[in-house]
Amino acid sequence: MRPNDENGKLPLDQRPFRVLIVSGSSRRQYNCPGVDSKSRMLMLRMADRLPQDWEIDYEDLGNVFGREKIQSCNACVSTSMALCCWPCNCYERGNKDEPDLMWNLDMYSRVDLADAWAVIGPVNWYAPSSSLKLMFDRLVCCNGGNPREDLIEHKNPELAMALEHKPQWKDLALNHLEGRTCGFFIYGDHAMDERKPDMRPVYLSHPGYFDPSQEPPGRRECYEALVWQCRFSGIEVPDALWRYERFGAGRKYSDNQAEHMAKDEEFLARFDAWTDELAAFVRDKGKVPPGKYRAYGYEPPKHRWADAKLWWRDRRMRLGFPKEGTSPEKQRDEGLNRDDTIDPAKGEGRKLRR
């Protein structure tokens, strides 16, 4: 059935199971590729195959012309764990200066509402697509993120550093999506059409630069970082549901499209088996109770006064007068980052060439 977000308010035994399927390819026919991806086809196939008395939510992360993108993670955790808020408050819904697809697609609420996630995506240069990597980078906040941004005046790094050392921090830093399941279905062709018999690329002019036998496997290990991010965050990724299947090896890319995959009964049988295994695992495990601090139904607090104070902090640093005792002051005094500038948006190369 279609997802009904209002069911998130129901007791666990009264709401249906819910699965979120994510198509992780960047390709969409509404941008320069001009063709939809195989992962989109598989996403829709899976949605049709899962139990229809479950809520089946899905999202395509592909690039559509003119649509906002997932903004990058600002690595707040590396300043202080308490600065990384759950859900992410580096960006906000409907912001015109930094439009963010994670917020504008309501992804934090949707991953919260689901008992399980199914991620389908290709191998791009021994790694997930940039869209998928951005999504998971922005989910760092589900692992120990601060659910009380009011305690740090929205985004004050000095207050966050102090909060991280207070006893109450232990009650706030939780795995907010603990207990959910995530399955990964990964596909690739290992660029076989671009290789010589010795597995070196056909375009290579200097074949001695590397040993093909040392090349990364290019299989399910390409998603290892995403899998272990989930596991570290209390999101279960069963080994059997972390699956790689090769498709289209040796074909021209133009002969390796969704319509070609749709005719490969052996490949589709393996995908359907993975779908069935995920459904059986989720059913046997049972519905996942919500965490203490939910992204579903979350309304960000107002922070105009906090923004004004942060604006003043920013202007002081631009002029070379950071607050006494802070990391920016220490880094300035020790000449570590040399980042005093009136125009921080200007690239370093442009500043070098002034």
Q: 36 and 45 in contact (C-beta within 8 Å)?
A: no
Distances (CA, A) of 191 to 123, 250, 311: 10, 7, 49
The DSSP secondary structure of 112-170, one letter per residue, reads HH-SEEEEEEE-SSSS--HHHHHHHHTTGGGBT-BS-GGGGTTT-HHHHHHHTTSTTHH
Q: 258 and 38 in contact (C-beta within 8 Å)?
A: yes
Q: What is the DSSP code (8-state) at residue 11?
A: -
- Other Cβ atoms less than 10 A from the Cβ of 285: the count is 16
Q: 110 and 12 in contact (C-beta within 8 Å)?
A: no
- pLDDT beyond 90 at 134: yes
In this predicted structure, what is the pLDDT of residue 217?
A: 83
- pLDDT beyond 90 at 249: no
- pLDDT beyond 90 at 286: yes
Distances (CA, A) of 273 to 1, 204, 242, 246, 276: 21, 39, 13, 15, 5
What is d(CA 37, CA 146) in angstroms, rounded to the nearest whole number? 36
What is d(CA 159, CA 151) in angstroms, rounded to the nearest whole number? 8
What is d(CA 312, CA 278) in angstroms, rounded to the nearest whole number? 51
Mean pLDDT to the nearest integer, 184-190: 93
In this predicted structure, what is the pLDDT of residue 353?
A: 87
Mean pLDDT to the nearest integer, 52-66: 95
**Overall size of the chain counted in residues:** 354
Mean residue pLDDT of the chain comes to 94
